[in-house]
Amino acid sequence: MCGILAVFRYQGDMDVYRQHALDMSKKLRHRGPDWSGCVVKGDSIMCHERLAIVGVDTGAQPLTNADETLVLGVNGEIYNHKALEKTLKNPVQFKTHSDCEIIMHLYNEIGTDVVKQLDGMFSFVLLDTKQNRLIAARDPIGITTLYQGFDSRHPETIFFASELKALNEDCDRIIAFPPGHVFDSATGLTNPYFEPHWYNPDVIPTAPVDYPRLRESLIQAVRKRLMSEVPYGVLLSGGLDSSLIASIAVREARKISASDTSDWEDNADLSGPRGWPKLHSFSVGLPGSPDLAAAKEVAKFLKTIHHSYTFTVQEGHDALADVIYHLETYDVTTIRASTPMYLLSRKVKSTGVKMVLSGEGSDEIFGGYLYFHYAPNAAELHRETLTRVKNLHTSDCLRANKSTMAWGLEARVPFLDQDFLATSMSIDPQQKVSDPTHMEKYIIRRAFDAEQLRLDGAADTTPYLPDNILWRQKEQFSDGVGYSWIDSLRDLAERKVTDEAFAARSERWPADTPQTKEAFYYRHLFEISYPQAACSQSVVRWVPRTDWGCSDDPSGRAQKIHSAAY
């Protein structure tokens, strides 16, 4: 991934403004420490901070076409770039080996419909100088981040950036650009382009679970994300999701490095396993945490090169201000989980690894959070999974993107693959209901269970994971790193926030008023970095489903079903 900044129809002296735009872009350099680029065309400017993962030798951005009438800045990865190259009707001389250059050439042929052809995680801004037209788009789920800014003094000027911090001093209104949408300056409209059949909350799916299809869909999702010209690894918490991704990655890398590529050879970029066949795994926790022990067991089983790191409660507390600066949110759940991930990401980057696979998305798809046990019926469970998937860009995707990119580390999330989503979100939600005989996420566990592999006649029935990992109870990351982590955050807030200040919280923040001292403290730290009124407009707090009768505390241990509930 990278950092992009674009200003369209700037009103003023562009020669003078160029340096200011470079300064704005510099605030994103942690996302792209490998190179910086800037292109000015008329009254528009585009800057780019590059993290080189694919096309390392030639992929510096912003990209331009042969006659430089198109300028493109992209944050993300296009996994089907090789297949898309074959769809071009007109001969094109590619200037780079970047997976992103295809966007520009497809736009030349099919216009904004290019977004419907892309399989990947991406945010991009494309300037068409012939038409003085700007196109901006974000991937369907919002795995990558993108913000749009406005200045009421110059309403004709439009700003885009990968993070809020590049815009907060220049814009008096900032929004998180919606996932699955495309903006076209020719119409001034932002329209949805991602509207799959499973998106309608009024239609409850009825398809029975097809275990071979579910399994193969996830395998292919992992396989296509092994595209990398640099060292890569997997974030391994020891929970089901990251362990399953790691297991699949190990198997697929082994096949690819052995040249067992079958029909994928011409359709996918399999550069990762060919250059880096041995998978590295990374885990983090407080000393003695349940995640560290489980991750170590999984790594031994999979024979990964494992790196296990510990942090202290004090180190976590010391990082909070920096974490909130990078996250650009004051949501309690996101900050709790992001702090260990932020600390781990720095350790990962120090090893030379620049890309990791991660397990976000599974809990939203399969109703894996323990509060889903309180769903009143299957239909409501499905609607809640749909709501959570649609809002991943405000929570887990935001966390995974910004916690890692704070250190120039790219995280890829196979569970949010478009084909896998189409398969898994079309399953009858009754199959996702948790009960005494079916624990949370039963069907995805069952899909990779050795007994199910044998029933399906799979060619390889070797267990993907030890049974005690495959069937381990859901442990939220902020709990799994060590139960004392969340407890310490509450204690810290109790010391930092006086009773008098807390009692007056609604006067300080009449909108989105914090309800706990912990939430108050995070809001306070957020305003130190982002005092402008526009900055809180893009923040969304995750609120538990108290109407289902579950606790309003977002921790998994707050739910009675947890084996170590408090």
| Angle subtended at Cα 550 by Cα 508 and Cα 331, rounded to the nearest 5 degrees | 35
C-alpha gyration radius of the chain: 23
- Token output for 5: 């900044």
- Could you say which DSSP state residue 438 is in? B
Annotation: binding site: 99, 235, 284, 358-359
Mean per-residue pLDDT, 421-433: 98
Distance between CA atoms of residues 129 and 131, nearest Å: 5
Q: Is residue 55 classed exposed, middle or buried when 0-12, 13-18 and 19+ CB atoms within 10 A define those classes?
A: buried
**Tally of residues, the chain:** 566
Helix and strand totals (H; E) in the chain: 21, 17
- Mean residue pLDDT across the chain: 93
Q: How confident is the model at residue 67 (pLDDT cuts 50, 70, 90)?
A: very high
Place of tokens 């990655």: 249
| Angle subtended at Cα 122 by Cα 2 and Cα 480, rounded to the nearest 5 degrees | 80
- Cβ-based neighbours of 500, under 8 Å, separated by 6 or more: none
Q: Is the pLDDT of residue 555 over 70?
A: no
Q: Is the pLDDT of residue 470 over 90?
A: yes
Q: How confident is the model at residue 347 (pLDDT cuts 50, 70, 90)?
A: very high
Distance between CA atoms of residues 289 and 550, nearest Å: 26
Helix (H, G, I), strand (E, B) or coil at 311: coil
Annotation: binding site for ATP: 235, 284, 358-359
How many CB atoms sit inside 10 A of residue 533's CB? 10
Percent of the chain, pLDDT > 70?
93
Q: Is the pLDDT of residue 92 over 60?
A: yes
Task: Tell me, letter by letter, the H, E, C secondary structure of 165-192.
Answer: HHCCCCCCEEEECCCCEEEECCCCEEEE
pLDDT score of 78 = 97
- Token output for 68: 């430089």
- Token output for 50: 């590059």
List C-alpha distances in Å: 459 to 252, 371, 447, 564. Answer: 14, 37, 14, 39
Max Cα separation, the chain? Answer: 70
pLDDT score of 264 = 46
Q: Is the pLDDT of residue 559 over 80?
A: no
What b/e readout covers 189-223, taking b as 16+ CB neighbours within 10 angstroms? Answer: ebeebbeeebbeeeebbeeebbbeebbbbbbbbbb
Q: Could you say which of 2, 47, 535, 550 is catalytic?
A: 2
Q: Is the pLDDT of residue 410 over 80?
A: yes
Amino acid in position 3: G
Q: Residue 358: CA atoms inside 13 Å, Cβ hemisphere, count?
A: 24
Q: Which one, of 557, 553, 370, 551, lies nearest residue 479 by Cα? A: 557
Asked whether the beta carbons of 292 and 283 are under 8 A apart, the reply is yes
pLDDT score of 465 = 97
Stretch among 352-361, 367-376, 418-427 having the lowest mean pLDDT = 367-376
2 is catalytic: yes
What b/e readout covers 86-98, taking b as 16+ CB neighbours within 10 angstroms? Answer: eeeeeebeeeebb
Q: Domains in the chain, start-ordered, CATH in brackets?
A: 3-195 (3.60.20.10), 211-558 (3.40.50.620)
Q: Is the pLDDT of residue 147 over 70?
A: yes
Mean per-residue pLDDT, 6-27: 97
pLDDT score of 267 = 62
pLDDT score of 1 = 72
Q: Is the pLDDT of residue 27 over 60?
A: yes
Question: At CB < 8 A and 24+ separation, what contacts does 252-257 make?
Answer: 252/219, 252/222, 252/223, 252/226, 253/226, 253/277, 253/278, 253/279, 256/223, 256/226
| Angle subtended at Cα 191 by Cα 190 and Cα 194, rounded to the nearest 5 degrees | 135
Annotation: binding site for L-glutamine: 99
Could you report the per-residue pLDDT of 44-66, keeping only the tens digit for each? Answer: 999 999 998 888 888 789 999 99
pLDDT score of 58 = 81
Helices (H), 146-267: 211-224, 240-257
Mean per-residue pLDDT, 213-224: 97
Q: Is the pLDDT of residue 187 over 50?
A: yes
Mean per-residue pLDDT, 15-29: 97
Pairing of strands 355-357, 410-412: parallel
Distance between CA atoms of residues 118 and 112, nearest Å: 11
Mean per-residue pLDDT, 172-201: 97
- Token output for 476: 């939220």
Distance between CA atoms of residues 127 and 5, nearest Å: 12
List C-alpha distances in Å: 352 to 159, 282, 355, 406, 546. Answer: 34, 13, 9, 15, 44
Q: Is the pLDDT of residue 33 over 50?
A: yes
pTM, 2 dp: 0.94
Distance between CA atoms of residues 113 and 100, nearest Å: 16
Mean per-residue pLDDT, 111-138: 98
Distance between CA atoms of residues 413 and 163, nearest Å: 20
Could you report the per-residue pLDDT of 367-395, keeping only the tens digit for each? Answer: 999 889 899 999 999 999 999 999 999 99
Mean per-residue pLDDT, 545-564: 68
Find the helix packing angle between 240-257 and 211-224, rounded to 10°: 70
Paired residues of 147 in beta bridges:
161, 176
